[in-house]
Amino acid sequence: MPSSQQRTPTNKQARVWILILTASVHAASDKEQILTSVSTMSTSNPKQLNAATAHWYNTNPDLEDGRLRAHRVEFEVMLRTILARLPDRPGLKILDIGGATGPYTFALAGRGHTVTLVDLSSGLLDLARTRAAALPLTSRPARILQGDATALSSIPELADERETFDAVLLLGPLYHIMSEPLRNAAIRDAWSMVRADGGGVLFCAFVSRWAHYRALAMTDPTRLAAKREFYAQHARDGDYVRLDESAVPYHAMHHETPAEMPRILQRLTGVPAQSVKMIGTEGLLAGGLDKLVNELQEVEFEAWVEKSLEVGTDEHGWLLADHIVGIVSKPYIAR
């Protein structure tokens, strides 16, 4: 969260961010090694950390905007997963919560669906609005709204729209919400927006707790021993906060254990365990192994997307991924 006391990432850090954010981890660059990483709850109020992270994205919107363009396999697997599990009818009403600059929003709007994009970062939404202005009306999001995933009811435009969306995407907020009660609230709120009378569906993404260690092994393997106490705590709570030289938080993330992800969704949505489907978006290519694959084109690239889908949808293969999406459908309820 750059300010008069904080630093904007250097070019080197920006390159690290784009390469490593595919795993949503933050291995230290040379300058970052002087920073102290501490457990979230001992650092600051979760709401303040949420605001700090949003401010960071406001100041660095291009980094997040370029992430999925750089990591094409993740984007393709996620998009195909969404398309394959949407209700089978045209012109769906879709809510994309925490959708950043709207990569999935635009992909779905371009297919004829009515999509509302919501994000906390005004900087990310500004980029989305600029992109929308250059498109035909039929390919634009229906609405682009600023709002907090932990407080959807505070968004006036959504106040009367509970149980009206055919699909709800919650594909980024849980990475940055630094409190279990607030993460639970975000999932419950997202689930409450899904319509029940037409078999609506929720897509909810997590970052694996073990993703960080894969990137750490590739970029700064000595750090695990040097920060033994911190990583012991991280293994327990999954919280990772980045501080500036003044020990002020500017970016925070939460990493979830894969085994816990379906349990969380089952508990908060009330569906049977067998109704929660987990899919890993990188398949075999977690931990930054997608770098060369993302440079491929056409047939060669498609072969890796298909293999990633095969592994990511396997009963156990999804556990390998860095980004993991849980899919929960509401049972049909006649009204």
Least confident window among 23-37, 185-199, 251-265: 23-37
pLDDT value of position 199? 82
Long-range contact set of residues 264-272: C-beta below 8 Å, sequence gap at least 24: 264/184, 264/187, 264/326, 265/187, 265/204, 265/326, 265/328, 268/184, 268/187, 268/188, 268/191, 269/187, 269/191, 269/202, 269/328, 271/328, 271/329, 271/330, 271/331
At 158, list the tokens.
């959504």
Average pLDDT, stretch 155-163?
Answer: 94
Average pLDDT, stretch 31-36?
Answer: 33
Average pLDDT, stretch 30-48?
Answer: 49
pLDDT value of position 335? 57
Q: What is the pTM of this model?
A: 0.87
Q: What is the pLDDT of residues 268-322, one digit of tens each?
A: 999 999 999 999 999 899 988 999 999 999 999 999 999 999 999 999 999 999 9
Per-residue confidence band for 40, with pLDDT thresholds at 50, 70 and 90: very low
Per-residue confidence band for 5, with pLDDT thresholds at 50, 70 and 90: very low
What is the sign, positive or negative, of the torsion defined by CA atoms of 58, 62, 65, 68?
Answer: negative
pLDDT value of position 323? 97
pLDDT value of position 15? 37
CATH tag, 66-208+255-329:
3.40.50.150
